[in-house]
Structure 1
Amino acid sequence: MITVANARICTLTLLEGWLQMNDGHITALGPGEPPNTEEIVDAAGQWLLPGFVDTHCHGGGGAALYSGNPGDVIQAARSHLAHGTTTLIASVATMRLDRMLAAATAIARAVATNQAPNIRGIHFEGPFLSPKRRGAQTKSALLTPDERVFADLIDAAGGLAVSMTIAPELPGAIDLIHRHHEQLTFAVGHTDDDGSHTREAFDAGARTATHLFNAMPTMTHRHPGPVGVALLDDRVACELIADGTHLSPEALTVATRTAGPHRSILVTDAMAATGLGDGDYSYADRHVTVHHGIAKLRDTDTLAGSVHFLSDALANVVRLLHLTPPQAAPLVSTNAARHYGRHDRGTIAVGQTADLVLLSEDLTVRSVYLAGKPIDR
C-alpha cells in the first residue's frame, strides 16, 4: 500500500489531504493527515491529478507509433507515460494500406508483450479522408470508404480498434458510420464538408470531431461547417490541440466555452519528434522539420502534428484560459475516459484505477503512478 500525503488532490472539488492506493486501485482518501501506514510519500503540497488520457497521438521520444515496428511503439508509449499519459490511444496515420495494416499489427503485438501498458487502443486517422483537407496525410494513400478495407483495418488491430477519423462527404461514408458506429467511435475530420454531411454523420452515430478547426473549413455566418455543427451538438466530443500553434487562445476559448467543460477533450496529435527539440526528422513515410517548437512537413507550411505532451497542454490551458488545475483536469483525463467508455479511470475516487500524476506548483510532472505503481522516469 502507498499513501500520498500532503497533496492538493484534484477530485471533483479540491481536496487537501491524502490518498491511499493498493492492488492497482484507489482504496481511500481524505482531508488532513493520513492514517499511519508503512509507505508514505510526502507530496509537499503539490497537485495530484488523474493520469492523463490522450486519444490522438502518433508518437514521441524519437519513435512513431505507426512505423510498423513494435519496438518503436514501446518507445513512444513510454515517452508519453513518463510525462503523465497513463492511457494512450495510438493513432495510425494515413499511409499506403499495407503499411497501415502493418502499423496496427505492430501496435497490437507491442501491447501483447505488456511493454506498452498505457496503450489502450488504436485510432485510425484515415484512410477515408478528403484530399482537399488531408493536412500531413499521404495524398496517394487516401481512399474512398470501402467495407473490405475497413474490415481489414479492424482485423489488423486485433481487438484494439477504438476510433476512426472519416470525411463524411465522401461517397459511402455515412453508410459506413451507420453500419459500424457500435463497433468503434467515428470522428469527423480531415473534411471539406460545409456542415450538412457532418450533421448526417452525427445522426448516423459519429460522436467525435477530430482536432476541431484544423483540417476542415472555417465557420462562417452562412456556413457553419463541421466546427459549428460539432460545437452545438451535445452528443459530440470535440478534440482540441492546445499546443499554442494549432489553435489561437481565442479559438480555444470559444471552443471550450461553447462545447462546455464536459465535451472538450485535449489531445496532443504528437508526432515522433515530441520531446527531442528542433531539427529535421524522418519517421515512417513523413519528413518533418521542427523549428521553434512547430512541426511542419519539410519544405512546406503544412503542420505535421505537434511536439507537446498532454502535461504541456494542461499547463497551456491553465495559463491561457485562466483555469485552476482541478478545473483543467477533466480536459486531459475525465472527459476522454468517459467518452470512450473507460469508466474505471479519469477521476480520483475510491475504486478507480490508481493512474495518477503528481505535478509541481508550476505544473511540471514530478511522479507518475500506473495502476498504483510508480513509474521510473
Structure 2
Amino acid sequence: MRLVGLLVSLLLASLASICDTYGVPDVNWRALSESQLAELDNYDPLPEPETVKAVASRFDVRLFKQSSWQWRIMHEGRITTSKASAAAGLLEPAAALILGVPKTLCGHGKALGARAKLKGVGRLGEERFGELVGEREVEGLGLGGVVERAKGKKPYYPHIGSVRMAWGRSQESTAIAVAADYFSKLGGRVEEVGLCLTEGDDGLFGASPDGIVRDGNGNIWALEVKNHCPFAEGRGAKAKKLDRSERYIVRDRSAPESVMPWVIPQLMLESYAVGEECQGAVLVRLTATMGASILRVKRDDTYIQELLKWLRLFNTRYLGDEEPTCDFFADEPGHREFVEKTLELASGDNVEVVEYVNSKEVRRPGGRTDSLFL
C-alpha cells in the first residue's frame, strides 16, 4: 500500500508540473506603496529627512527614514540585525543544524560576509551626529547607487533567491499595514522608525525594526514583518525550454503560525535597541493570497546579554587579522547552550499567536489582474 501511495504522489506531482503556469514574477503585485502606507490614519510616518533640524543624541538618529542616506551612513561599522545571527555563530553549519536553518540562509560565508562589511569600516560617533542634518552626505562615507532596469523591460531574476528578496522589499508596506489595521482596532498604532542605537559599547550595536507597535494597553513592541514569497522555480522539461527569468511557478502557502529560531537574535536586538520600555517583538508573517499571522515574542534580557557577549567577542576577535574558521564558536564554553536557548525562545510560552488575518482583510490596492505574473 505504501508503494501504491508513493506512486500516486509521484503521478500527481508530475501532472501538477505539466499543468503549472510559468512566468516572470510580478514582485510588486498589489503591493501597498510607502506613500500609501504613510496616508493611513492608524500609522505615524517619520518626517522627511531634510526637515530634521537637529540631531543631539542617539535617540534623534531614529528620526531618519530607512530610505534616507543618513540611515545608510549610520549603519556603517555597526553590528545591526542583518549581521547579528551570523556574527553570533548561529548560521554556522553546526548551530544551523540545531536551529533548522534552511541551507539558503546559512553557511560559513554568512559570517565572512558580516566580517567583510565591518572590518576596517569606521562608524559615525555621537560627536558628529550634527553632520547628519541637511541634504549632503557625510564627507568620506560614500554610498553606492541603485541600478534600475530600463523602462518597459521585464526584470531578470537569475535564481529564486533574487525573487524572494525583491518580493520581501516590495511587499513590506503591505505587511506593516496588517499590523496597523489590527492594533488600531485595540486602540493602538504603528509608528515608523529608523535606526535605533543601543546605549554603551561606543555605538557598536543598532537595529531598525519595521516599526514600533503601541498595542492599546500602553505597551511598546518592536515590529518585524516577513513576506513569504509565493513563487518557486519550475523543474520540469517545460521549464528548461523557457528563458531563465520565466521559469517560475506559484506555490503560495498558508501563513505560518510559528517563529523561525534563526530570527530570534534579530527580534531580541530590536527589542533591546528600541529601549527599556519595549516588551518584545511583534512578528507579522504575510503571504500573497493566504492571509497573515501575527505573533508576539516576549523580550528576554538574559538572552539579550548573552547575545551581546558573542557579538562583542566576534567584534574584538575577528575584525583584525584573524579570520573566523568554520563553526568558529562551537568549542567556546556556553555557546551550545546559547544555541539551544535560541531554539527554546522560538516556541512555547515565549511565543503568542495573536491573530490570523484573512486574505480579504489585507490591504491590497486593486491591480490590472489577479495574475502574479507580469
Question: Higher relative CO (CA 8 A, sep ≥ 6), structure 1 or 2?
Answer: 2
User: Which TM-score applies when normalising by structure 2?
Assistant: 0.21
Greater strand percent: which structure? Answer: 1
- Give the number of the structure whose alpha-carbon radius of gyration is greater: 2
